[in-house]
Amino acid sequence: MARSKLTNTTNDLVGDGGAVLWSLVTGEQLEFPITLNFIKDATLQLSNNYEYEAVVIEADNFAGQTDTPKTIRAGGVQTKLTVRVPLKVGVWSSVNAYNKEEIVEYSDKHWKLTHGAGYTNTEPPGVDPRWVETTLNRIYVQFPKTLGATWLVKADVGSPVYGFFELRVTEPNDSIFSRTWKPVRGMVQLMFSPTEVVAD
């Protein structure tokens, strides 16, 4: 069988779904789910947890810009975002009390409590509407309301400002070869907010 030339690439062994754009209004504080297809169980019950790092770096914005910046600002603000990993609390029981976002196992599925604190009910997940089916490979990236507050350029009515975003996931140290993924990259767009201008 003939060999292919090194420059005649036909197979992409590492796929890329494309860059993301998180669009926020200045002062919003939001949390977004990210499903990690290369991890089976990301919950805190693992004996050796994965490491998660999400960051935003201030872009080289300027007042009145109409296009997205192509470079980071030299000496710009670097923000580490919180990555929340849900807590798996075991097999569901009608006598246990559960809190919002806790995950239980019931009927060979995983369920997340949508709201409540110290919540108990004799109706199991699948019947009780407060429980929704979920997966164990989902994490949550939290964007604080202070994001962009100390950037040199602020958004105005017709011109948003931007930062560069990336999520890094690293395997536990006890692996034979600890792999590191960077599954989500892109930009954060901050839009003008009138409520940030008007005093409380």
- C-alpha to C-alpha distance for 102 and 164, rounded to whole angstroms: 31
- C-alpha to C-alpha distance for 25 and 160, rounded to whole angstroms: 9
43, 86 in Cβ contact below 8 A?
yes
| All domains of the chain in start order, with CATH | 20-86+136-194 (2.60.40), 87-135 (2.10.10.20)
Phi-psi region of 108 (alpha: psi -120 to 50; beta: other; left: phi over 0): left
pLDDT-based confidence at 172, cuts 50/70/90?
confident
Q: 15-29, 45-59, 129-143 — which one is most confidently predicted on average?
A: 129-143
Structure token digits, residue 175:
């692996």
- pTM, 2 dp: 0.88
Residue 178 per-residue DSSP state: -
CB under 8 Å to 100, separation ≥6 — which residues?
113, 114, 115, 116, 117
pLDDT at residue 94 is higher than 60 = yes
